Amino acid sequence: MPLNTSTLLDALNSVTAIPIIPFQNGRIDYAGHAKNIDYLMRANRLDNNRRRVISIAGTSLIHHLEPEDQTRILAETGRVMGNDGVLMAAIVPNPIGTADQLIETYAHLSRKPDVYLVMPLTGVVNPEGAYATFMRLGQKHGEGHGARFLYYLRNSSERETVIRLLNDSPHWIGVKVGTNESDVQPLLEGVGDNGLVIWGVGDRSTRAAEIGTKGHTSGTAVLCTGLCDGINNAQRRGDYATSRQLEALLQPLEEIRFAQGRIYNYSAVVEAMILSGFDDIVGGDGGPFNPRVPAAVVEQVKTAIQGLAEYH
């Protein structure tokens, strides 16, 4: 049974785990992906028996998958999760016809997504065009399939468009902030009670939570979910000192992932999974446009993950 919007919003005040999709010899390793999803579900350490939130999104390399592969990977994720978690499907909104068709296809899966994350739009666009197009998308699939949408803000110039969407449409229910903390307060003030403001720049989320964000995204949860869950547990109870202490343990790995415009966002996680030696997760051998990291970075990752094993 679909979650009502109020329950969904509370569930999203959590860690949104964004696992890498493993590849072997240039092909998606679906069995390895299922193993990673099983780990995330089984190792859930969110307090009060809260649902695990999993998103197949940017760190997963969703931009590099054909639509049929996106559908298969989402279906496999839903199969392993069942109804015990919250399934978030990321949608690349251009070309808009392909995005529209993907949402239509996902709506008829046996385990359909609970919420859609609309990824950054590329190409030439203006605010009125973005607002009108996304309003139509929300209305069509919100009314037709009960779809709910989050907007992934990666450009501060789109902030006012996001505020309009969340205020004007019941189908747009939140925004993931992928810019910096300076956008948080204007979004909170502009959106009010009409949507959730989620931090979207990794586990380095304590300062944003202090300002007022609810929940955060994590590309490292598939390596050490206990640590990422612990950050959210602490933030939900207002214990920002503990949140900051846990965040500091992940800081070295996050520094590698987000350096130089995020060039190792995917591959540093893959390397960390391989170096960890854990046999219940699969890193693969590198994905499209994202081979394993150079030897010098391997040594940095090796140092960065020291002390994380107890949180696996």
* End-to-end CA separation in angstroms for the chain: 31
* Averaged pLDDT, 194-205: 97
Dihedral sign of CA atoms 261, 191, 206, 148 in order: negative
Predicted confidence (pLDDT) per residue in 211-257, tens digit: 999 999 999 999 999 999 999 999 999 999 999 999 999 999 999 99
84 sits in the region (left: phi over 0; alpha: psi -120 to 50; else beta) called: alpha
- Work out the angle between the directed axes of helices 267-276 and 221-236 (0-180°, nearest 10): 100
Q: Which residues of 167-180 are buried (b: 16+ CB within 10 A; e: fewer)?
A: eebebbbbbbbbbe
Q: Using alpha carbons only, give the angle 236, 37, 247 rounded to the nearest 5 degrees.
A: 35
Residue pair 209/240 in contact (Cβ under 8 Å)? The answer is yes
* Averaged pLDDT, 284-288: 97
More confident residue, 2 or 77: 77
Residue pair 114/8 in contact (Cβ under 8 Å)? The answer is yes
Predicted confidence (pLDDT) per residue in 81-125, tens digit: 999 999 999 999 999 999 999 999 999 999 999 999 999 999 999
**Total Cβ atoms within 10 A of residue 281:** 23
Residue pair 120/152 in contact (Cβ under 8 Å)? The answer is yes
Dihedral sign of CA atoms 285, 15, 255, 201 in order: positive
Structure confidence at residue 6 (pLDDT): 95
Domains of the chain with CATH codes: 5-311 (3.20.20.70)
Structure confidence at residue 2 (pLDDT): 82
- CA-CA-CA-CA dihedral for 185, 186, 190, 191, to nearest 10: -50
Asked if residue 1 has pLDDT above 80, the reply is: no
Predicted confidence (pLDDT) per residue in 118-148, tens digit: 999 999 999 999 999 999 999 999 999 999 9
For tokens 């500091």, the residue is 248
* Averaged pLDDT, 70-76: 98
Kindly report the average pLDDT of the chain as a whole number: 97
Report the percent of the chain where pLDDT is more than 70: 100
pLDDT class of 52 with cuts at 50, 70, 90: very high
- What's the whole-model pTM score? 0.97
Residue pair 140/114 in contact (Cβ under 8 Å)? The answer is no
Report the percent of the chain where pLDDT is more than 90: 99
